[in-house]
Amino acid sequence: MACATKGSGTDAVVSFVLDASVTLTWALAGEIHAETVRAWSRTAALVRRHGLTLYKAAYLEFAARRSLPLATFDGQLARAAATEKVSLAMDASP
């Protein structure tokens, strides 16, 4: 799988990380589980939509997918969760 990307900045980094992750998944498992691909796709969309790091977006995607409340004191992540209609387990304001 090629790691060449169009664009720059966050989109290029997300594309590279996703390409590398998918390639690694193929190498280790011999096939890509469909739910894993969908989860990565949703995570990448959250990165682009909210300007989150991949790390933060992965937590948000997991909470959304499992219908779980998200526990965070990170304001950016809390705002993204509200936009995505993911409930918070606590008040994110300091």
Q: What is the mean pLDDT of the chain?
A: 76
Mean of pLDDT values over 38-53: 93
pTM for the full predicted model: 0.64
User: Which H/E stretch holds residue 28?
Assistant: helix 10-29
With cut-offs at 50, 70 and 90, classify the pLDDT of residue 36.
confident
CA distances to 2, 44, 83, 84, 87 from 49, rounded to whole Å, are 24, 9, 10, 10, 18
Percent of the chain with pLDDT over 90: 47
The better pLDDT of the pair 16, 37 is held by 37
Position 49 pLDDT exceeds 70: yes
Quick one: pLDDT at residue 87? 94
Tokens of residue 73, six digits:
């004191």
Quick one: pLDDT at residue 78? 95
Q: Is 6 helix (H, G, I), strand (E, B) or coil?
A: coil
Position 32 pLDDT exceeds 90: no
